[in-house]
Amino acid sequence: METLTSKVQLRPLGRSELSVSPLGLGCWQFSRGKGFVGRYWSNITDADILDIVRVSLEGGMNWVDTAEIYGGGKSEEALAHVLDQLQQEGSPHAAPLIATKWWPMLRTARSITSTIDQRIACLGGRGIDLYQIHQPFSLSSIASEMKAMAGLVQAGKIRYVGVSNYSAKQMVEAHRILQTYGLTLVSNQVKYNLLHRSIDQNGIMSAAKELGISIIAYSPLQQGILTGRFHNDPSQVAAVSRSRRMMSGLDDKSLARSKPLITSLTALADKYGCTPGQIALNWLIHYHGDTVVAIPGASKVRHARENVGTMTFRLEPEELELLNEASWAALKK
């Protein structure tokens, strides 16, 4: 019997030897509710984390993305714990590719080297396939940071180098510097979805395509707006935290502006027998060819099932373009 996993077409991550599923599992929500960043999410039980990871990996995802700042290592530890459990069960999906990130605020590039063993320890001794600079703001230059990252590759601590939230200029500079060490920048992780398309206008997307750098899209459903849940039931907005409302565009004006796009997503969802969120994710991972991969999170098992279901079909070219036009129309209003 053909499995979901066998249906998923892998693609190269940047100009690396890593072959990844179009969607990976974002693990911010495994922060245990700890730390300034982790408090964004409530604590998820060990049993739920195990089920979420199991469904995601068995459904065809072959990589996960976490970070030091997600609960100060709590997300990495939670991930390692459930992967240990899957390994003990004899699961063939217990060893996904692992991406994590170094937090640069108020630190120098020396911290990249001095904290790498902590990251590996939090991950249960697992190797780091992609190590990313989480933000472009630190007390060191991009040159110093790329030198440190190259040193980690040479020392066998990590396999490849990525960045996150870098501008086009910063991304190109990081790539150029890595080339002097015989390496390339593999990825830039940025916010990107049908309601947030600044990288299409500020040079990031075009530079990524030119240099063969993958875009890893975070917040691919605009904090749930692209699922249509807030349009279908506006009373749900009240249950969302104030910080999340401010970040996501859940005010009345923004919701009205995005309504026609949600209508288009819903119509296609009816055609494909799926959800509007799955249509939004499908557009994201196919509109730019193989350039964009995405890391939707999942705080419930049903979210994980929807995520992997996204990779079992592909929108037609004219449907991708229809959503592209509806997206820009929503953003220009």
Partners of 189 in beta bridges: 164, 216
Partners of 98 in beta bridges: 64
> Encoding tokens for residue 2?
């053909």
Is 42 in contact with 29 (CB distance < 8 Å)?
no
Amino acid occupying residue 62: N
> Which candidate in 70, 131, 166, 218 is catalytic?
70
Q: Which residue is associated with the tokens 């390339």?
A: 184
Is 115 in contact with 128 (CB distance < 8 Å)?
no
Residue 178 buriedness (CB in 10 A; 0-12 / 13-18 / 19+): buried
Q: ∠ CA 56-62-65 to the nearest 5 degrees?
A: 80
Please enumerate in sequence order all residues whose Cβ is within 8 A of that of 136, keeping only pairs 6 or more positions apart, or say none: 104, 142, 163, 165, 166, 167, 170
Question: In 3-state terms, what secondary structure has residue 145?
Answer: helix
181 is catalytic: no
Phi-psi region of 196 (alpha: psi -120 to 50; beta: other; left: phi over 0): beta
* Other Cβ atoms closer than 10 A to 333: 12
Helices 276-286 and 317-332 pack at an angle, to 10 degrees, of: 100
* Other Cβ atoms closer than 10 A to 316: 11
Provide the greatest CA pair distance for the chain: 54
- Catalytic residue numbers read 70
